[in-house]
Amino acid sequence: MIYDRLASEELLDVVREDCILVYVGKKPGAHSMRQEEINRVLVEYGGRYDNVVRLKGGDPFVFGRGGEEILALAGAGIAYEVIPGVTSAIAVPELAGIPVTHRGLARSFHVITGHTAEEGVTDDYEALAKLSGTLVFLMGLSNLEKITAELLRYGKAPGTPAAVIAEGATPYERIVRGTLSDIAERVRAAGLSSPVIIVIGEVADFSFRWEHDRRESGGEIAGRSAAGEESITAAEKTERYGVVATPRTLSAFRRRMEEAGKRMVPLVTMQTRRLPAYDTLKEQVTRLCDYDWVLFTSKQAVELFFEAVRECGTDIRVLAGCRFAVIGRGTKDVLKEHGICADFLPSHADTETFAGELAEALRREAVEKKGQETCGHVDEGEPVRILFPHAAQANPMTAELLREAGIAVTEVSVYDVEGKRCGDFSRLLEISDFVFFSASGVRAFFDGIKRGGYAVPGERGFWCIGNPTREALLYELSRLKNGTSEGHKIHVAEEASVEGLVSFIISQTALPE
């Protein structure tokens, strides 16, 4: 895969591990390769491999140099296929709440590259100034003052609304609004950096984003922003939640947070890796009739259990002889996806409550069955048998507490969790809050901090899904050498699930009435 600077990291994350990645990105003043070199790379790899992806940001034919690259491939006799993209000229303003056309205001839009001056081309600003539609300039931050000055010189009204969107479609997006006469000064004062999209025209005064409209109008859609003001409040400019989670958890968390108008920044993805003991789990799956219960304390354990069931060719009807206990709602939901309703869910999703309440429930069941007390044990005769597949880092207290209650527990460490950095740690200062879904995620995050020599900014919010995660966080913060452990606010959700943590964050950060 040959990719640009503006290619989405989320797309790169799903690339196969055996795929060769070649970076050919450009940024102002620091090109990795000139276009001629990129063309040569495409021809070289296209001639060497059967399948080559040229991943570009936006659409390859909208100032993407796609045509030049195709001419190079065609000249070398290399077959190609074009897959249309979505141009940033439309998508970035749209995500910022700005339509490039709107009935009664703009019946057309015009896309202009902001790099023409550097390429020795002079735009016809006199013609541009006379256009009644929306003007969209790409890659024009360094030429913003010239663009606005020339449009004013040729008669464009000074009060024409204007907006500059920096790092659009990312969690770091910032929008500065103003008019043609003062937008350059406002952008300079805001310190925006490339890439930016410049929108000039009446539509630049719109902000079709629900969270903005709700603040402006108390719930009614206002649609228009105050000209000359940044479209996002000071709180929004810094309220970004850096997240450490598995891809599945991250996806669910992102969906719920974005529904609530919160910005997400994935920092570390936690990858599940099978351990050799997975074969032991497969052996136990073939003997499920030996167990009364199967115990799950994670979604990953549920998934691996059913993978083992499938790989062993186990008749799923054998599961009718087992009951299932889960630690929280998230694990319960994943189990239900496999057609099984949990038989036990604790009142709180923490290790001590889980093991204690399950042991007590089994003790009461044994008492009712025997009609006598059992000295605190579940059954002094034949103990209840539990199969407990879990992560290598699982809290040992779960099995210990159950065994103390006279329950026979067969533990199998079937997987390990490893962190893969996916966010830019050099921008941690722009993160207002950090969210962790596991103790292993905390360790992976701080390992990335130490390896890269980065600092954890002070006075930040930390959100944890449970007490084990909180304890791991406190330990890592106490060991900080590069950064600060002072001024942090650590929050722990009572319900250890994605929904529980999101609801907790929303309740604690809700805007006052």
pLDDT 10s digits, 18-49: 899 998 886 655 556 789 999 999 999 999 99
CA distance 238 to 219: 23
* Mean pLDDT on 368-396: 74
Mean per-residue pLDDT over the chain, rounded = 86
Residue 464's pLDDT band, with cuts at 50, 70 and 90, is very high
- CA 34-40-42 angle, 5° bins: 105
Per-residue pLDDT reduced to its tens digit, 146-193: 999 999 999 999 999 999 999 998 888 899 999 999 999 999 999 998
pLDDT given for residue 93 in this prediction: 96
* Mean pLDDT on 268-292: 94
Beta bridge partners of 417: 272
Say which range, 80-84, 126-130, 244-248, 292-296, has the weakest mean pLDDT: 244-248
* Mean pLDDT on 425-436: 93
Higher-scoring residue by pLDDT: 422, 302? 302
Task: Specify whether the CB–CB gap between 359 and 401 falls below 8 A.
Answer: yes
Phi first, then psi: what are they for 196, rounded to 5°?
Answer: -130, 155
Higher-scoring residue by pLDDT: 295, 370? 295
What the block records as the tokens of 475 is 């330990």
The structure tokens 């205001």 sit at 105
Residue 325's pLDDT band, with cuts at 50, 70 and 90, is very high
Note every long-range contact of 444-452, with CB atoms under 8 Å and residues 24 or more positions apart, other chains counting: 444/244, 444/268, 444/270, 444/417, 444/418, 444/419, 445/244, 445/267, 445/268, 445/419, 445/476, 446/476, 446/479, 447/419, 448/267, 448/268, 448/419, 448/421, 449/425, 449/482, 449/483, 450/482, 452/425
Q: Is the pLDDT of residue 238 over 60?
A: no
Residue 235's pLDDT band, with cuts at 50, 70 and 90, is very low
Say which range, 357-361, 388-392, 428-432, 466-470, has the weakest mean pLDDT: 466-470
Assign 365 to helix, strand or coil. Answer: helix
CA distance 478 to 217: 45
The structure tokens 């406002």 sit at 186
Residue 213's pLDDT band, with cuts at 50, 70 and 90, is very low
Residue 46, number of CB atoms within 10 A of its CB: 20
Residue 220's pLDDT band, with cuts at 50, 70 and 90, is very low
Q: What percent of the chain has pLDDT over 70?
A: 87
Per-residue pLDDT reduced to its tens digit, 465-482: 878 888 899 999 988 765
CA distance 283 to 290: 12
Higher-scoring residue by pLDDT: 8, 44? 44
Higher-scoring residue by pLDDT: 394, 496? 394
pLDDT given for residue 351 in this prediction: 84
Say which range, 130-139, 192-201, 371-380, has the weakest mean pLDDT: 371-380
Containing 490, the helix (H) or strand (E) segment is strand 489-492
Residue 22 burial by CB count (10 A; 0-12/13-18/19+): exposed, middle or buried? middle
Residue 289 burial by CB count (10 A; 0-12/13-18/19+): exposed, middle or buried? exposed
* Mean pLDDT on 299-321: 93
Q: How far lies 344's CA from each of 22, 29, 326, 464, in Å? A: 50, 61, 6, 24
The structure tokens 């994943």 sit at 334
Contacts (Cβ under 8 Å, ≥6 apart) of 50: none
